[in-house]
């Protein structure tokens, strides 16, 4: 299985694990400090979840309301059933607008549909402008964290990359590297005809889309080019403008441990007069790509409440050791382990529901209280039911034998007796490779009981 192989490779990479440990620990600490500034964090979580539940229960109606209000404000809305359709819609807009270069701000949905490759096939050059995404794109890699895409790279690696691709003098000063990226990207912003962004929240009541960021690249992407394309999953909609309050309290604190990110852009349609600033056209692409299926049960539906903060990644003992790439999906970590099989098919991600110790740390930190462990168990059940995972003939036989033995006390005693005499340990390689199983006691409890433990114990009681 590729997950097993990739996870093993990641575990052997000392530098990667060091970087992950540092990053995830720091984000965890910052998050804890930031939540202390909210008087009642728990009720904020409850309220956010209630808003998401309410929206999802009437998703059709809220989407239609959002679309009507966005179109009234001048936006054009497109619906995409799957990744290919979304890529075609965006590619056709870019061609119609004569765009050869498009600037992009961070969008997990665009990673999900592999938009960059689709644009490149049309001869359009996509330029990632978030610093982390830009590094990852220059290196020909994929993001390894939802919030910090280049978390896996050291500054020495980035310095070598920039020296090679941007022709700057090698430097391990982070400010110098950042300035080099700013200068290179300013040239791209100056020439770009189209900007593509993601969407954090879409307000049904007003048709507003909201984008959070720290660098300013999303603001440039959405205000400089003549055309702005915003790509959003259909689950991003929330009912009311005032609902933004609670989500803006939760998302930055959970994601980066900030009270608020540097910028929030609240965009409602296009500019009202020719003298106004901003793009002439705003296209909003609504992406389904498997999301509507997840509405069918209360368990699977909750994954659609996710606001992509990344807190569950930082808290997960599995992610903290192996990082994002081993998950083999654009969505890594605990939330990725439940989203990927549902969005991209169980067969392609059958190993992911098992990439967890079910410790519950993800559920603990989730700002919208998604019960990820319950979802993982649900998906494990589906993997077994549909035979989507690797065949586990031995495992099934072993459990059948175990059941047969455990139902018959005399057989159990006999088996354990034999095992004790012959010092046989159960063949649980995957389990015992990293753990010591305690040896069997020389005499079983039952034997000791029969030999008089019963009489001794009685005196104490």
Partner 1 sequence: MRSGDARAQILRVIRENLAQGLEPSPPRHLAAPGSSPPVPLSVPESSPPVPLSVPERGEGRRSPSPEGRGGQGVRIQHFTEQLSAVGAQWTFVRSETEAGAALARILTEAGARRVVGSDAPVVQRILQAVGNGIAIDRLEQLSRDDLFACDAGVTTAQWGIAETGTLVLESARERSRLLSLVPPIHVALLSTRCICESLGDALARVSTSSHAITFITGPSRTSDIELTLVVGVHGPQTVHVLLMEES
Q: Which residues pair with 281 in a beta bridge?
A: 227
Structure token pair of residue 274? 């020719």
Give the per-residue contact string, 283-322, with partner 1 (x = CB under 8 A; - = no). ---x-x---xxxxxxxx-xx--------------------
> Segment near partner 1 (CB under 8 A), from 202-210, 310-318, 421-429, 450-458?
202-210
Q: For residues 223 and 321, which CB has a smaller minimum distance to partner 1 in the complex? A: 223
Place of tokens 């095992």: 419
Query: Angle formed by the axes of helices 131-138 and 155-165, to 10°?
Result: 70
Closer Cβ to partner 1, 7 or 103, answer by number: 103
Q: Kindly provide the b/e burial profile for residues 227-264, where b requires at least 16 CB atoms within 10 angstroms of the residue's own CB.
A: bbbbbbbbbbbbbeeebbebbbbbbbbbbbbbeebeeb
Residue 269 binds to partner 1 (criterion: CB under 8 A): yes
Binding segment (CB under 8 A) for partner 1, from list 193-201, 266-274, 342-350, 415-423: 266-274
Question: How far apart are alpha carbons 253 and 27 in whole angstroms?
Answer: 10
CA dist 306 and 291 (Å) reads 12
Task: Work out the number of other CB atoms within 10 angstroms of the CB of residue 391.
Answer: 8
Tally Cβ neighbours within 10 Å of residue 369. 19
CB of 357 to partner 1, least distance (A): 17
Q: Which is nearer to partner 1, 158 or 361 (CB)?
A: 158
Q: Which is nearer to partner 1, 164 or 245 (CB)?
A: 245
Q: What is the Cβ-side half-sphere exposure of residue 334, based on CA atoms within 13 angstroms?
A: 32
The distance of closest approach from Cβ of residue 431 to partner 1 in the complex, given in angstroms and rounded to an integer, is 24
Site track for partner 1 across 172-201, x = CB under 8 A: --xx-xx--xx--xx---x-----------
Q: Does 131 bind partner 1 (CB under 8 A)?
A: yes
Binder among 97, 271, 348, 420 for partner 1 (CB under 8 A)? 271
Q: How far apart are CA 229 and CA 166, in angstroms?
A: 28
**Sign for the pseudo-dihedral over CA of 425, 428, 430, 431:** negative
Question: Given the rule CB under 8 A, which of 118-126, 242-250, 415-423, 427-435 is the region that contacts partner 1?
Answer: 242-250
- Give me 302's structure tokens: 């909750």
- Asked if residues 263 and 214 have their Cβ atoms less than 8 Å apart, the reply is yes
Number of residues that bind partner 1 (CB under 8 A): 105
Q: Does 275 bind partner 1 (CB under 8 A)?
A: yes
Residue 237, helix vs strand vs coil: strand
Nearer Cβ to partner 1 (7/132)? 132
Residue 415 contacts residue 405 (beta carbons within 8 Å): yes
Residue corresponding to tokens 């989203």: 339
Least spacing, CB of residue 415 vs partner 1, in Å: 30
Q: Does 206 bind partner 1 (CB under 8 A)?
A: yes
CB 136 within 8 A of CB 161: no
The residue within the footprint of partner 1, chosen from 314, 338, 369, 383 (CB under 8 A), is 369
Please pick, from the candidates 11, 160, 168, 374, the single residue that binds partner 1 as defined by CB under 8 A: 374
Round to whole Å and give the CA distance between 67 and 206. Answer: 10
Give the footprint of partner 1 on residues 71-110 (CB under 8 A). 73-74, 78-81, 85, 89
What is the Cα–Cα distance from 182 to 166, expressed in whole angstroms? 11
Binding segment for partner 1 (CB under 8 A), chosen from 120-128, 169-177, 326-334, 430-438, is 169-177
Place of tokens 């980066």: 256
- Of 117-125, 126-134, 388-396, 412-420, the segment contacting partner 1 by CB under 8 A is 126-134
Shortest Å, Cβ 277 to partner 1: 4
Q: Which stretch binds partner 1 (CB under 8 A): 3-11, 248-256, 345-353, 428-436?
A: 248-256
Per-residue binder mask for partner 1 (CB under 8 A), 16-55, x = binder: ---x--xx--x-------------------xx-xxx-xx-
């Amino acid at each position: 299985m590729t997950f097993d192989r990739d996870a093993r490779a990641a575990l052997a990479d000392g530098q990667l694990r060091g970087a992950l440990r540092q990053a995830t620990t720091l984000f965890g600490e910052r998050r804890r400090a930031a939540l202390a500034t909210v008087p009642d964090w728990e009720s904020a979580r409850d309220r956010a979840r209630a808003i998401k539940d309410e929206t999802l229960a009437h998703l059709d109606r809220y989407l239609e309301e959002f679309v009507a209000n966005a179109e009234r404000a001048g936006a054009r809305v497109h619906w995409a059933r799957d990744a290919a359709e979304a890529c075609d819609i965006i590619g056709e807009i870019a061609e119609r607008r004569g765009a050869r270069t498009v600037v992009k701000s961070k969008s997990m949905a665009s990673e999900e549909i592999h938009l960059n490759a689709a644009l490149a096939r049309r001869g359009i050059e996509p330029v990632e402008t978030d610093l982390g995404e830009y590094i990852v794109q220059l290196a020909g890699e994929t993001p390894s964290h939802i919030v910090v895409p280049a978390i896996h790279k050291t500054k020495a690696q980035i310095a070598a990359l920039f020296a090679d691709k941007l022709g700057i003098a090698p430097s391990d000063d982070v400010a110098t590297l950042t300035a080099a990226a700013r200068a290179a990207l300013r040239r791209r912003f100056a020439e770009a005809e189209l900007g593509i962004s993601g969407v954090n929240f879409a307000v049904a009541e007003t048709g507003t889309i909201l984008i959070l960021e720290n660098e300013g690249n999303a603001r440039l992407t959405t205000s400089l080019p003549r055309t702005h394309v915003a790509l959003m999953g259909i689950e991003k909609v929330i009912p009311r403008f005032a609902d933004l309050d609670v989500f803006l309290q939760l998302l930055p604190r959970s994601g980066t441990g900030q009270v608020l990110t540097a910028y929030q852009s609240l965009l409602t349609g296009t500019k009202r007069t020719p003298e106004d600033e901003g793009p002439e056209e705003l296209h909003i692409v609504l992406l389904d790509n498997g999301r509507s299926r997840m509405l069918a049960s209360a368990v699977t539906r909750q994954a659609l409440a996710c606001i992509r903060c990344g807190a569950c990644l930082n808290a997960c003992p599995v992610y903290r050791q192996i990082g994002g790439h081993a998950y083999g999906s654009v969505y890594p970590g605990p939330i990725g382990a439940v989203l990927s099989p549902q969005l991209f098919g169980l067969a392609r991600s059958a190993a992911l529901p098992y990439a967890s110790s079910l410790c519950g740390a993800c559920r603990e930190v989730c700002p919208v209280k998604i019960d990820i462990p319950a979802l993982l168990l649900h998906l494990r059940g589906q993997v077994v039911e549909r035979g989507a995972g690797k065949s586990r003939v031995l495992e099934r036989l072993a459990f059948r034998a175990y059941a047969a033995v455990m139902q018959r006390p005399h057989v159990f005693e006999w088996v354990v007796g034999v095992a004790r005499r012959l010092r046989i340990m159960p063949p649980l390689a995957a389990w015992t490779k990293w753990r010591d199983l305690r040896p069997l006691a020389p005499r079983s409890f039952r034997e000791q009981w029969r030999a008089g433990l019963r009489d001794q114990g009685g005196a104490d009681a």
